[in-house]
């Protein structure tokens, strides 16, 4: 546990990815193999279910410290994390307990069916034998919360540096079907439980936001223009009668989209295609909010398949019958893609439309109309471009529609994390609903450091109530927020959900009387 605790400390004190990778590599070099497996499991969502309720832990620590509940809650509000609050409040340990990580986790798994008294005896004994940082880790093991700034990609890059194994193969391996008790660390790295040769994806080719005037791009005939869609970018791979779907986030999502697997399986030949997974119903592309209902589902029910059907808009082809096409031009790849789709295909699979236009002036109007059918704008791809790894300036451009904006008032504020933990950086905004206010969005980006400092000083002076780390404030500060899309939502009190809200500017020239109403916000849905 001490080595794992030191690793967490090393990761939390830096925001540099390379430093985190180095800390992970050093841990993997010395930790027991079972501890390595459990670290990977914890950081990739394969956590055991919670064995002890948080209310029990809260009552036990108040009993030990003899703190009244109001003082405990005030401490919790200041710290913002239950596990850390408990670790800080407990008295110094009287004993020393040294066990490897995997033993602690196995004991916690076995603790779940025990009585509350048995759980209390075990937890109190552990608290009395661990230092403050180790107690924090122990509490996090109980709660299952390991959001410490290590993404799957960072973890995989550390394993790749350690082993020399391809990062994509490692990603496929660690998100595959395994448990720490069903596989060895070496077999996990080598992917003995997967068939990687058939499923291996390619790095995605990406675009820059358009930063030139259209005439500066040159001749119109040199460019292929398509609509930009707001879904999940993905690669679908069909090799040796097996089908795999990878997201741009390097996650294998095959099981989430069984209808796409079935549609691809009907096509003849082997290939790798690049495109967008979209929610589509009655031939119309739905909003991303609809697609979200299909994401991260372990079991896709028949009802969900009917409520949110998906399709795949195909942009590109990267491999055909074992031949790597990435060094072919965009124009040549498109021709081969169209040849592949000359065979009879399922209606779930659609070639991305190539927009015919005569001059650059036509495109601005097409871009402005895109939101009306849930497109984000246009993609401009040079016909001579290769399928590069990542971005190459000048080859692919994304030209999105202008964001929507509304004026809102801040009603809640919460402190940030890391270097911003002393300032209020996370805000909740509201609009008018008759004579009341109703929340419409949360945002934490868009202000300068100077503005954040000013807002934080204002919050300290104008806070009305405390709810844990959240402060209710006087509804006086008005902001203009921007967002990419808007939809009706039953999950939100306001009845609407905003896509990618962020602060555009602080409207110090306006008062709460000038903010939008919920009616004007909903009107944006019908207008777009």
For residue 411, give the nearest of 471, 454, 467 by alpha carbon.
471
What is the per-residue burial (b if ≥16 Cβ within 10 Å, else e) of 489-505?
eeeeebbbbbbebbbbe
β pairing state of 310-320 and 349-351: parallel
* Cα distances (angstroms) measured from residue 423 to each of 410, 411, 413, 454: 15, 16, 10, 10
Residues in the chain: 528
What is the per-residue burial (b if ≥16 Cβ within 10 Å, else e) of 385-399?
bbbeeeeeeebbbbb
Q: Check the CA dihedral 373-379-383-387 and report its sign.
A: negative
Helices within 269-359 (DSSP H only): 288-291, 302-307, 330-340
Residues 6+ apart with CB under 8 A from 421: 415
Instruction: Please give the Cα distance from 471 to 453 (Å, whole number).
Output: 16
3-state secondary structure of 399: strand
Residue recorded with tokens 């650059």: 360
Instruction: Please give the Cα distance from 348 to 69 (Å, whole number).
Output: 57
Helices within 175-321 (DSSP H only): 185-190, 196-199, 258-265, 288-291, 302-307
Instruction: Please give the Cα distance from 238 to 318 (Å, whole number).
Output: 12
* Rg from Cα positions in the chain: 26
* In contact, 501 and 442? CB cutoff 8 Å: yes
- Active-site annotation holds for 228: yes
Find the distance separating the first CA and the last CA of the chain, reported in whole Å: 55
Beta carbons within 10 angstroms of residue 335's beta carbon: 13
Which of 228, 238, 415, 432 is catalytic? The answer is 228
- Positions annotated as catalytic residues are 228
């Amino acid at each position: 546990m001490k080595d794992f605790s030191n690793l967490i400390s090393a990761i939390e004190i830096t925001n540099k990815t390379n430093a985190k990778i180095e800390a992970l590599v050093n841990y993997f070099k010395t930790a027991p193999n079972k501890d390595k497996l459990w670290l990977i499991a914890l950081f990739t969502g394969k956590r055991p279910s919670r064995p002890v309720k948080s209310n029990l832990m809260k009552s036990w620590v108040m009993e030990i410290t003899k703190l009244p509940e109001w003082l405990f809650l005030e401490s919790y509000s200041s710290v913002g994390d239950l596990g850390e609050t408990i670790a800080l409040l407990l008295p110094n340990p009287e004993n020393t307990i040294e066990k490897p990580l995997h033993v602690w986790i196995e004991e916690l798994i076995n603790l779940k069916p025990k009585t509350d008294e048995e759980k209390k005896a075990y937890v109190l004994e552990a608290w009395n034998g661990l230092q403050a940082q180790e107690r924090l880790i122990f509490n996090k093991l109980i709660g299952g919360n390991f959001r410490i700034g290590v993404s799957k990609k960072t973890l995989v890059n550390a394993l790749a540096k350690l082993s020399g194994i391809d990062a994509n193969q490692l990603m496929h391996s660690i998100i595959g079907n395994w448990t720490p008790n069903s596989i060895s660390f070496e077999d996990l790295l080598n992917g003995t439980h997967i068939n990687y040769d058939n499923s291996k994806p390619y790095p995605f080719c990406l675009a820059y936001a358009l930063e030139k005037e259209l005439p500066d791009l040159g001749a119109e005939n040199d460019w292929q223009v398509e609509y930009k869609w707001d879904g999940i970018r993905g690669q679908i791979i069909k090799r040796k009668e097996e089908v795999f779907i990878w997201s741009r986030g390097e996650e294998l999502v095959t099981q989430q989209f069984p209808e796409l697997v079935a549609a691809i399986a009907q096509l003849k030949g082997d290939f790798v295609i690049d495109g967008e997974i979209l929610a589509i119903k009655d031939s119309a592309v739905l909003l991303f909010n609809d697609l979200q209902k299909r994401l991260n589902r372990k079991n896709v029910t028949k009802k969900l398949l009917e409520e949110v059907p998906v399709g795949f808009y195909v942009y590109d082809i990267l491999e055909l019958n074992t031949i790597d096409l990435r060094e072919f031009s965009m124009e040549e790849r498109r021709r081969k893609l169209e040849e592949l789709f000359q065979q009879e295909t399922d209606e779930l699979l659609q070639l991305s439309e190539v927009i015919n236009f005569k001059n650059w002036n036509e495109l601005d109007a097409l871009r402005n109309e895109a939101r009306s059918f849930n497109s984000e704008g246009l993609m401009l791809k040079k016909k001579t471009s290769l399928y590069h790894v990542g971005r190459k300036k000048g080859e692919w451009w994304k030209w999105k529609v202008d964001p929507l904006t509304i004026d809102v008032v801040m009603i809640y504020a919460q402190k940030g994390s890391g270097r911003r933990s002393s300032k209020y950086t996370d805000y909740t905004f509201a609009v008018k609903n008759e004579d009341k206010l109703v929340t419409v969005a949360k945002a934490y980006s868009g202000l300068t450091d100077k503005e954040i400092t000013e807002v934080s000083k204002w919050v300290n002076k104008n806070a009305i109530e405390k709810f844990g780390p959240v402060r209710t404030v006087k509804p006086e500060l008005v902001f203009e927020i921007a967002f990419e899309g808007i939809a009706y939502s039953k999950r939100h009190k306001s009845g609407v959900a905003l896509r990618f809200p962020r602060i555009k500017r602080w409207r110090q020239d306006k008062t709460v009387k000038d903010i939008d109403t919920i009616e004007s916000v909903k009107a944006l849905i019908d207008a777009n």
